[in-house]
């Protein structure tokens, strides 16, 4: 078991006390993170070193909490509110959770524990000094090290020892500890805290100590005391207390030294455990690996192979295996095949031994140890998300499990997010010195999940909602949004005033924006007479518009509240004259909707708000439920799941619903020349980068020199690090690009090829350059037109939905016409029909459609009969 200390460590700033390597001697560390990306990065770099506990109280997404556990966190520290949401996830074992609770909240935690036997495995962290009393109240076994004490100020050594004496685990900052036991300089000597928990032998006052290797094999039994523990931690080596020679630095004379890996205890603290990496012949004075004899099995094979690698005779079989990777690969494949063909117990054991030999040879050749392999196995055991586990491609085909399918094109490797102390920059590409095919690769959007995978997840949700109505919607709202208190999936108008309470400033901003959006979209209306053309004498063709009667408007949730999207969809629908407006937006965990969205729904006359997001909201509006009104068209942006659901229902003829267009992550392309203000350029890039880690921003720099490019890059770095959503920006910038081009013509060609959702022109004579724009969702002209004004209040529509695949080449953004149908009419006089009859009859005859021809000829014959 670990020591009764949990050292907290800040990854963003170096510790003035213990380093991370020193903390590893305790076997575990607690790190506080602000994002999933930060947690995953720390876990990836350090899981081999020690067990990582993550303080995840700053993480708002339940999905991110699950992902942190899945990435290898041994435990996560969470709040009671997070616990309520996370306990709905059946894949998360309570033994991986530690809940922060003040003394006044212990009863609430106790109630939760009492709900399930499995809940008893959860840990508790408290700042109360009454550790033992709390444990007794909860019926908690302190030997399981599940009760942690935090401190509101730097604790004294006496305070820490009091917690240890009560059986609790003290959470201590690395800055407060030291291994320098002779000159602690005001810090707490960590070794004294370990010794405070150790139970000494009654006969000699020393601590019994078991020494093991990293794989848990016992190397020998020794004694320790306070001084030897302190020296072992200070030097990072095996140091013990000999009953004959005093302080014993293992290997000091023989050279068989030990590297300290970690220090721990047995279950009742009467035996210390030193885990070491043994150097030289072995632990025993007789030269064997342990005092109990040589290694056997895999450990013995590893030692043999490591020795052979260092000194294998040239040309020997072992030397060939180390030096000829293809030979090793062939032998592994051969032995794996023979193992698969083995039948009897003896045959399987024999072939498995051969396979393990060649597999371990491959590992040793690459510098990989059994300890590395086992640590990876431990990491896999921490997964809380399970893969389906099917065999891959050719192996499945060979075993007769599946038909051969072409391998999917490999995804572009993800760019690593920059470290906290590194400048946040976009990749720079100079087109004049870069091959065209490479430039085209950089123009590609970040890869998304395959459509087949998304559809496979979305289709069952749509089918469930279609079949079970309100119950289906509520099921997924409870599951995904954690809004378990909701009993109805709909909030109907008139909306209660208390649900749309806003500050005067926010209400005024929304009112001004709605007014401007209404003005711009009202100007898009057709004239009352519509279009009327006489194509030939007596033949009048006309076109007129009518509003779509019932529209569903999807307002995303996700990482930001988006009342602006509610305005961009609701106001044009109101101006168009749609009779029924149905909003849909994911509720918060308490079942409520953002008051800004409710206020917009009220202003535009919405009939209701569907309290759901994702595929379940789309399905509810497409098919209707007991409470949700069926609509004729669904509009609005969303993630990949929303887009897939919209496309599925649009392709279902029984749904009778259309959609606006495919959607994707936000993006912006800025074209800047030497006159552009670097601060303005950076702010425009970051305004879209903060939407999500899958957003992409592009800068096309026209003939800028190194100094001018660095000025923009510096502004991006400084402004980005000042943003609250800096971690999201990091992820976006990791796959964003600056293209350095020769002139405006090349810049516009690149832009039109990319077809951005938002295009910003920060160049001389920007207005004149608009005529060169062929493909873009919306254009922002000149230095005084940031994209933000289009997002909120200028009047143009920000619901462009053109990202991900460059759909600006084919689609327009949402406009008044998105909410209208255009109907055509024909009105012919008798002379008009006579003048057109021969043309129609001839074309009908060519197509072999006699009934079409007769519809004209009967009328012409009738007219001639009346004239006779």
Q: What is the pLDDT of residues 232-244, one digit of tens each?
A: 999 999 999 998 8
At 419-461, the pLDDT tens digits run 445 678 888 998 888 888 888 888 887 755 556 777 888 999 9
Three-state SS for 843? helix
Give the pLDDT of residue 775: 86
Quote the pTM value.
Answer: 0.49
Give the pLDDT of residue 384: 81
Higher-confidence residue of 5 and 433: namely: 5
Three-state SS for 544? strand
**CB-based burial of residue 796 (10 Å sphere; 0-12 exposed, 13-18 middle, 19+ buried)?**
buried
> What confidence tier does 524 reach under pLDDT thresholds 50, 70, 90?
confident
- List active site positions: 757-758
Distance CA 472, CA 619 (A): 10
Tokens of 381: 């055991």
> What confidence tier does 53 reach under pLDDT thresholds 50, 70, 90?
very high
DSSP track, 755-800: --SEEEEESTTHHHHGGG--S-SEEEESTT--HHHHHHTSSS----
Query: Which whole-number Å values give the CA distances from 89 to 65, 69, 155, 384, 481, in the listed order?
Result: 10, 12, 36, 10, 12
Half-sphere exposure of 158 (CA within 13 A, CB side): 0
Distance CA 261, CA 31 (A): 20
Q: Which residue has the tokens 């279902």?
A: 652
pLDDT for 583 beyond 50 = yes
3-class secondary structure per residue, 232-262: HHHHCECEEEECCCEEEECCCCCCCCEEEEE
Higher-confidence residue of 588 and 12: namely: 588
At 813-863, the pLDDT tens digits run 788 888 999 999 999 999 999 999 999 999 999 999 999 999 999 999 999
Phi-psi category of residue 849: left, alpha or beta, with phi > 0 → left and psi -120 to 50 → alpha: beta
Task: Please choose, from the candidates 351, 319, 322, 346, the residue with its C-alpha nearest in 3D space to the C-alpha of residue 335.
Answer: 351
Give the pLDDT of residue 776: 83
CATH number for the region 207-278 comes to 3.10.20.810
What mean pLDDT is predicted for residues 45-67? Answer: 90
Q: Are 522 and 573 in contact (CB under 8 A)?
A: no
Q: Are 227 and 247 in contact (CB under 8 A)?
A: yes
Q: Are 594 and 602 in contact (CB under 8 A)?
A: no
pLDDT for 789 beyond 70 = yes
Distance CA 93, CA 97 (A): 8
Domain edges within the chain = 5-196, 207-278, 297-382, 451-659, 667-796, 829-867
Three-state SS for 633? strand
Give the pLDDT of residue 691: 77
- The CATH-assigned architecture of domain 297-382 is Orthogonal Bundle (1.10)
Q: Tell me what the pLDDT averaged over the chain comes to.
A: 87
Indicate the fold that domain 451-659 takes in CATH.
Rossmann fold (3.40.50)
DSSP type of residue 390 = P
Give the pLDDT of residue 664: 66
Q: Which helix (H) or strand (E) holds 532?
A: strand 531-536
Query: Which whole-number Å values give the CA distances from 800 to 137, 154, 666, in the listed order?
Result: 58, 53, 9
pLDDT for 75 beyond 70 = yes
CB count, 10 Å around CB of 135? 18
CATH number for the region 667-796 comes to 3.40.50.1980
Give the pLDDT of residue 854: 94
Distance CA 461, CA 649 (A): 12
CATH number for the region 5-196 comes to 3.20.20.70
Whether 667-796 and 207-278 are alike in CATH topology: the answer is: no
Three-state SS for 185? coil
Give the pLDDT of residue 209: 95
Strands (E) in 399-529, as ranges, are 427-430, 490-492
Q: Are 647 and 662 in contact (CB under 8 A)?
A: yes
């Amino acid at each position: 078991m670990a020591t009764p200390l949990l050292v907290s460590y800040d990854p963003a700033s170096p510790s003035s006390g213990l380093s991370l390597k020193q903390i590893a001697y305790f076997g575990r560390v607690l790190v506080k993170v602000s994002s999933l990306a930060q947690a995953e990065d720390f876990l990836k770099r350090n899981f081999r070193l020690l067990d990582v506990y993550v303080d995840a109280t700053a993480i708002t997404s339940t999905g991110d909490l699950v992902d942190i556990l899945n990435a290898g966190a041994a435990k996560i520290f969470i709040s009671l509110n997070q616990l309520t949401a996370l306990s709905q996830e059946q894949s998360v074992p309570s033994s991986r959770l530690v809940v922060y609770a003040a003394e006044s909240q212990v009863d609430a935690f106790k109630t939760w524990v009492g709900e399930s036997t499995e809940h008893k495995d959860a840990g508790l962290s408290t700042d109360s000094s009454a550790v033992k009393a709390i444990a007794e109240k909860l019926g908690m076994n302190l030997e399981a090290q599940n009760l942690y004490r935090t401190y509101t100020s730097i604790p004294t050594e006496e305070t820490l020892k009091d917690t240890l004496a009560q059986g609790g685990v003290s959470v201590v900052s690395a800055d407060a500890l030291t291994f320098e036991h002779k000159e602690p300089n005001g810090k707490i000597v960590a070794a004294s805290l370990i010794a405070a928990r150790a139970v000494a032998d009654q006969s000699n006052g020393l601590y019994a100590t078991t020494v093991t290797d990293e794989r848990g094999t016992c190397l020998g039994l020794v004694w320790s005391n306070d001084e030897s523990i302190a020296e072992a931690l200070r030097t990072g080596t095996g140091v013990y207390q000999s009953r004959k020679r005093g302080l014993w630095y293992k290997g000091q004379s023989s050279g068989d030294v030990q590297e300290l890996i970690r220090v721990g205890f047995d279950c009742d603290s009467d035996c210390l455990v030193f885990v070491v990496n043994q150097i030289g012949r072995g632990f025993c004075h007789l030269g064997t690996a342990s005092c109990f004899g040589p290694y056997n099995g895999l450990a013995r094979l590893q030692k043999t192979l490591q020795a052979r690698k260092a000194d294998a005779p040239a040309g020997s079989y072992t030397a060939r295996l180390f030096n000829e990777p293809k030979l090793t690969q062939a032998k592994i494949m051969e032995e794996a095949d023979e193992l698969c063909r083995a039948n009897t117990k003896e045959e399987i054991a024999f072939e498995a031994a051969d396979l393990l030999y060649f597999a371990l040879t491959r590992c040793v050749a690459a510098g990989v140890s059994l300890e590395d392999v086992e640590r990876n196995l431990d990491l896999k055991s921490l997964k809380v998300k399970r893969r389906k586990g099917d065999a891959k491609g050719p192996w499945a085909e060979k075993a007769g499990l599946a038909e051969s399918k072409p391998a999917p094109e490999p995804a572009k490797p993800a760019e690593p997010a920059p470290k906290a102390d590194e400048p946040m920059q976009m990749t720079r590409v100079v087109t004049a010195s870069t091959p065209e095919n490479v430039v085209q690769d950089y123009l590609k959007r970040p890869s998304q999940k395959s459509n087949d995978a998304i559809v496979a997840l979305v289709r069952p949700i749509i089918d469930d909602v279609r079949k079970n109505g309100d119950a289906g919607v509520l099921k997924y709202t409870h599951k995904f949004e954690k809004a378990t208190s909701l009993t109805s999936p709909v909030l109907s108008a008139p909306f209660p005033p208390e649900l749309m309470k806003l500050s005067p400033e926010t209400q005024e901003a929304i009112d001004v924006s709605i007014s401007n959006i209404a003005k711009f979209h009202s100007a898009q209306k057709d004239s009352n007479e519509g279009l009327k053309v006489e194509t030939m004498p007596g033949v009048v063709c006309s076109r007129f518009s009518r509003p779509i009667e019932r529209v569903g408007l999807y307002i995303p949730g996700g990482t930001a509240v988006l009342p602006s999207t509610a305005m961009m969809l609701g106001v044009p629908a109101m101006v168009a004259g749609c009779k029924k407006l149905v909003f849909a937006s994911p509720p918060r965990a308490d079942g409520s909707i953002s008051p800004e969205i409710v206020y917009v729904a009220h202003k535009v006359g919405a009939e209701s708000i569907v309290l759901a997001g994702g595929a379940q909201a789309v399905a509810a509006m497409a098919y209707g439920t007991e409470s949700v009104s069926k609509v004729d068209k669904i509009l609005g942006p969303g993630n990949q799941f929303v887009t897939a659901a919209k496309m599925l229902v649009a392709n279902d003829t029984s749904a009778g619903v259309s959609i606006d267009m495919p959607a994707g992550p936000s993006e912006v392309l800025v074209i800047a020349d030497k006159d552009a203000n670097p601060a303005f350029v950076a702010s425009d890039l970051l305004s879209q980068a903060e939407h999500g880690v899958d957003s992409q921003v592009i800068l096309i720099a026209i003939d800028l020199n190194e100094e001018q490019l660095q000025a923009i890059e510096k502004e991006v770095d400084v402004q980005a690090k000042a943003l609250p959503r800096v971690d999201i920006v990091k992820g976006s910038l990791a796959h964003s690009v600056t293209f350095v081009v020769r002139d405006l013509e090349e810049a516009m060609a690149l832009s039109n090829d990319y077809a951005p959702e938002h295009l910003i022109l920060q160049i001389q004579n920007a207005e004149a350059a608009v005529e060169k724009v062929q493909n873009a969702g919306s254009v922002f002209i000149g230095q005084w037109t940031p994209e933000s004004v289009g997002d909120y209040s200028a009047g143009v529509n920000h619901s462009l939905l053109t990202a991900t695949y460059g759909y600006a080449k084919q689609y327009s953004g949402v406009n008044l016409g998105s909410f209208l149908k255009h109907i055509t009419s024909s009105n012919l006089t008798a002379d008009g029909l006579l003048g057109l009859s021969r043309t129609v009859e001839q074309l009908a005859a060519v197509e072999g459609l006699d009934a079409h021809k007769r519809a004209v000829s009967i009328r012409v014959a009738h007219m001639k009969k009346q004239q006779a």
